Amino acid sequence: MATPAQHNALLEVRNLRVEFPSRRGTLVALDDISFDIAPGEILGVVGESGAGKSLTGASIIGLLEPPGRIASGEVRLEGQRIDNLPYEQMRKIRGRKIGAIFQDPLTSLNPLYTVGRQLVETIQTHLGLGKAEARERAIRLLKETGIPAAEARIDHYPHQFSGGMRQRVVIALALAADPKLIVADEPTTALDVSIQAQIISLLKRLCKEHGAAVMLVTHDMGVIAETCDRVAVMYAGRIAEIGPVQSVIHAPAHPYTVGLMGSIPAMDEERERLTQIDGSMPRLNAIPRGCAFNPRCPRAFDRCRLERPELMDAGATRAACWLHATDVMREAA
């Protein structure tokens, strides 16, 4: 089943496999990950800690921590393969075509330089503008991201901004060279709830206006529901389900997604207990045979313990679950 993104994909990830060699053997951290993102589309990537969400983002932007390496598969941006580029070439693409927003804005900003200097240098490096033009663009970006009195605040240092304002500066920095793709890794986790909502709506508006594709990594389904067009649910280094956000939230097809959705409290109904998924995510050196979720799955049967399912059509979404295999569907009918 083709997703809307496949017709004019800006980012294409195909069969991505990331390995971490160790003395006890090779650990597979991402296994056969494939998805697309179209221009102006926001794809949410969600799952428990250790599912491989941040690792997927780091692989795409070329910031995998050694000894981690892309063992196979490919990543294409606007049709150009970028996963096998030399470091320097990838660094230029990362600034110019890919913007990154991380969880803690302090890790993205140099405390020794004013935010203006950091913005101006980024703009000059990637867009080749003169200093006065670059400063003008920097002020415009700060205004666009909701920094009050941008003309004065451009000469302030990161520590002179609150957490929410720093994250706005980081978004301005990510958009500085008008990138095609933004990878946002937990961009609101360090912020309080009211600021989170502002940052999310800002990110959503700016990306639509700039026509950028966004990969939004988060564990917060509320943020996903509010922001994304589609969502990929990850489990143990693989995609368990992917599809339009409303379909995944309201009619999940994979038992893991069903459990995730059941663990979210609903505002309009009273429940004494929330659903919980028994057990925990397997360690990379102990991923079970067959479907990795089978030891925790209430609907697992023999095939789930022996064969690993690929993504298959499951109504409006695609799910890696044998419940949606055509022969199982026929038997059920």
The confidence score (pLDDT) of residue 98 equals 96
Residue ranges per structural domain of the chain: 4-97+180-194+209-332, 110-178
Q: 5 has which bridge partners?
A: none
Cis omega before residue 66 (within 30°)?
A: no
DSSP string over 14-42: EEEEEEEEETTEEEEEEEEEEEEE-TT-E
Distance of CA 215 to the CA centre of its chain: 4
Residues 6+ apart with CB under 8 A from 253: 241, 243, 314, 315, 317, 319, 321, 323, 324
Determine the Cα–Cα distance for residues 310 and 291; give it in Å rounded to an integer.
9
The confidence score (pLDDT) of residue 332 equals 58
Q: By CB neighbour count within 10 A (0-12 exposed, 13-18 middle, 19+ buried), where does 37 fall?
A: buried
Tokens of 152: 């004065």
The confidence score (pLDDT) of residue 190 equals 77
The candidate with the shortest Cα–Cα distance to 93, out of 125, 135, 136, is 125
The confidence score (pLDDT) of residue 5 equals 43
In order of 22, 78, 113, 162, 167, the CA distances from 159 in angstroms are 39, 37, 10, 8, 12
CATH number of the 4-97+180-194+209-332 domain: 3.40.50.300
Cβ pair 205, 211 in contact under 8 A: no
In order of 39, 53, 72, 199, the CA distances from 236 in angstroms are 28, 10, 18, 29
Q: What is the pLDDT along the chain (333 residues), one digit of tens a residue?
A: 444 444 589 999 999 999 999 888 999 999 999 999 999 999 999 998 899 999 999 999 999 999 999 999 999 999 999 999 999 999 999 989 999 998 888 888 999 999 999 999 999 999 999 999 999 999 999 999 999 999 999 999 999 999 999 999 999 999 999 999 999 999 988 788 888 888 888 888 888 888 899 999 998 888 888 899 999 999 999 999 999 999 999 999 999 999 988 877 666 666 666 677 889 999 999 999 999 999 999 999 999 999 999 999 999 999 999 999 987 665 655
Determine the Cα–Cα distance for residues 216 and 223; give it in Å rounded to an integer.
9
The confidence score (pLDDT) of residue 251 equals 95
